[in-house]
Amino acid sequence: MPLTPAPLPLEALRSAFGARLKLNVPLSRYTTAHVGGPAEAFLVANNRDELAETVQQLWALGAPFRVFGSGSNMLVSDAGLAGVAVINRAAHVEFVTGEAAGAPYVLAESGANLGGVARKAALHGLSGMEWAATIPGTVGGAVYGNAGAHGGDVQGSLSLAEILHPQYGRQTWSCDQLEYQYRSSNLKRLHIPAVILSAQIRLAHSTTQDVKARMEANAAHRRHSQPPGASLGSMFKNPPGDYAGRLIEAAGLKGTRMGRVEISPVHANFFVAGEDATAGDVWSLIQMVRQTVEEKFGVALELEIECVGRWNEADTASGKSH
Ligand SMILES: Cc1cc2nc3c(=O)[nH]c(=O)nc-3n(C[C@H](O)[C@H](O)[C@H](O)COP(=O)(O)OP(=O)(O)OC[C@H]3O[C@@H](n4cnc5c(N)ncnc54)[C@H](O)[C@@H]3O)c2cc1C
């Protein structure tokens, strides 16, 4: 039987959040694939303290929630999200240079845009985040999923993360404590119910010109190798020693469509959603690709994206999360 989530304590939520609380807000506007149904309830947090207070109140009320950064790694079901979507707009960024211990580094609130932080670092003549300039999403989403590109990743750059835990409160975690693996942290793997408030990222002195040149080379590579349009980036993780995109292409699936979603002819690990696409279209394509690649090559592709929200029983049996 599918799990039926407990009803949200709407009256208690209204009295805790007043006019900040919105109901039935379409989440397609808050994900880069532009698909997905409504959040039962919806809150925006504009800074780190507001984010911390919001999730502490939600924990106290027993209201399930999910933090949304830029929604660039989440497939929200067409039936929407049971619970509260917390949109993280905590975006203050501070560069620390000079004599401070560990300097230079950047302290970024978790809702800051990762690429934006990288580009600001370039303007300060600071290197170390060139790999991040082309990755969509927030600092929080990147820390959660160990985002990476162009030979760098969060694991190689993060000094500290400020975490809020329902039992242990605010804590500072070292990079090692996040037990990073390829595109995952222990928060993600173990479903640890903690929220990332901010991150301290190591930098090094350089020149704006050099940093920008490296970023431009990365961006040029990406423009050439990845499609524009609404997507969630790479759909599947690369299996050990191979590439998901290569396997999907070798299976003859480039350009295949389901409903309004297409496997990109540019990069087969990108599924591009057209206007009026649904999460169901994306999910059908995921299933078809997995089955075909497994039949042809004996490789079980693992999702890099997360499926969130309410899915039907057959879907939950296939490993979706709520
Ligand atoms: C065109 C495109 C290209 C991409 N290229 C890359 C790439 O090169 N490399 C790469 O690694 N990824 C890539 N991605 C995937 C995506 O950009 C990353 O996974 C990104 O780090 C997700 O950040 P986000 O803010 O959008 O997270 P979201 O999708 O909003 O959230 C992802 C997960 O993180 C959790 N989360 C978010 N913020 C917090 C927080 N503050 N505290 C606790 N949990 C949180 C969410 O609840 C969710 O479980 C790409 C995506 C697109 C659309």
Residue nearest to atom 43 of ligand 1 (CA): 195
Question: Do 126 and 94 meet the contact criterion of CB atoms below 8 Å apart?
Answer: no
Residue with tokens 């990365």: 218
d(CA 294, CA 89) in angstroms, rounded, equals 40
Residue 304 among the catalytic residues: yes
What domains, with CATH codes, occur in the chain? Answer: 12-88 (3.30.43.10), 93-206 (3.30.465.10), 244-317 (3.90.78.10)
Residue nearest to atom 36 of ligand 1 (CA): 141
Of 110, 206, 234, 264, the active-site residue reads 234
The DSSP letter of residue 223 is: H
Measured from the Cβ of residue 224, the count of other Cβ atoms closer than 10 Å reads 8
d(CA 110, CA 132) in angstroms, rounded, equals 15
- Record the tokens describing residue 199, joined without a space: 């991150």
d(CA 174, CA 66) in angstroms, rounded, equals 23
Residue 110 CA, closest ligand 1 atom number: 41
Please give the helix or strand (H or E) that residue 15 lies within, else none: helix 10-17
pLDDT truncated to tens, each residue of the chain (322 aa)? Answer: 445 667 899 999 999 999 999 999 999 999 999 999 999 999 999 999 999 999 999 999 999 999 999 999 999 999 999 999 999 999 999 999 988 888 999 999 999 999 999 999 999 999 999 999 999 999 999 999 999 999 999 999 999 999 999 999 999 999 999 999 999 999 999 999 999 999 999 999 999 999 999 999 999 999 999 999 999 999 999 999 999 999 999 999 999 999 999 999 999 999 999 999 999 999 999 999 999 999 999 999 999 999 999 887 555 445 455 4
The per-residue DSSP string of 92-121 comes to: -EEEE-TTSTT-SEEEEETTSBHHHHHHHH
Peptide bond preceding 104 in cis form (omega within 30 of 0) = yes
Substitution candidate for ligand 1 out of 42, 59, 72 with most atoms within 8 A of CB: 72
Residue 225 among the catalytic residues: no
Question: What's the number of CA atoms in the CB half-sphere (13 Å) around residue 198?
Answer: 19
d(CA 85, CA 276) in angstroms, rounded, equals 22
Question: What is the distance in A from the centroid of ligand 1 to the CA of 310?
Answer: 20
The DSSP letter of residue 84 is: E
* Of residues 306, 217, 305, 232, the one with CA closest to residue 267: 232
CA dihedral of 51, 57, 61, 66, whole degrees rounded to 10: 0
- The pLDDT of residue 315: 57
Residues 6+ apart with CB under 8 A from 310: 37, 77, 79, 80, 81, 82, 322
Residue 32 CA, closest ligand 1 atom number: 53
Residue 53 among the catalytic residues: no
Q: Which region holds residue 242: left if phi is over 0, alpha if psi is between -120 and 50, else beta?
A: beta
| Residues flanking ligand 1, CB < 6 Å | 32, 66-74, 88, 110, 135-138, 140-142, 144-145, 147-149, 183, 195-196, 231-233, 306
Residue 259 phi, psi dihedral angles, 5° rounding: 55, -125
Listed in order, strand segments (DSSP E) in the chain are: 22-26, 38-45, 65-68, 74-76, 81-88, 93-96, 105-109, 126-127, 148-149, 152-153, 158-165, 169-174, 195-202, 204-205, 257-258, 261-263, 271-273, 306-308
Chain length of the chain: 322
- Record the tokens describing residue 116, joined without a space: 């934006």
